[in-house]
């Protein structure tokens, strides 16, 4: 089984930092990350335990420049393309 992956760049505009991860592309076009990938990116964006920057503060983009947003309704860490926000459910 061939799993498609997409390179995603997270930004923290407060600290001016970036973190890169490879997300699994799901059949519906969303991107799925593991909990450890999210923790690793979070530490790279802001490693200070007492900081209140919001860690994932800034755009989340792929190499083509397409933007993604967190799907807070998902049980797993999941990113939704910005183009999905214009869809009717």
- pLDDT beyond 70 at 85: no
pLDDT at position 89 over 60? no
Q: Averaged over 72-82, what is the pLDDT?
A: 89
* The pLDDT value given to residue 1: 52
**Torsion angle of alpha carbons 32, 38, 60, 31, nearest 10°?**
0
Per-residue pLDDT at 24: 96
* Residue among 62, 56, 53 nearest 83 (CA): 62
**pLDDT at residue 86, rounded to an integer:** 55
The confidence band for 88, taking pLDDT boundaries of 50, 70 and 90, is very low
Q: Which two tokens stand for residue 75?
A: 């049980």
Quick: pLDDT tens for 7-55: 999 999 999 999 999 999 999 999 999 999 999 999 999 988 888 887 7
């Amino acid at each position: 089984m061939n799993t498609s992956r997409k390179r995603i760049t997270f930004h923290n505009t407060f600290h001016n930092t970036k973190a890169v991860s490879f997300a699994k592309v799901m059949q519906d076009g969303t991107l799925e990350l593991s909990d450890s990938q999210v923790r690793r990116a979070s530490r790279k964006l802001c490693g200070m335990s007492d900081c209140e920057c919001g860690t994932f503060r800034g755009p989340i983009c792929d190499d083509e420049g397409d933007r993604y947003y967190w799907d807070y309704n998902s049980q797993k860490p999941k990113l939704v393309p910005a183009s999905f926000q214009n869809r009717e459910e």
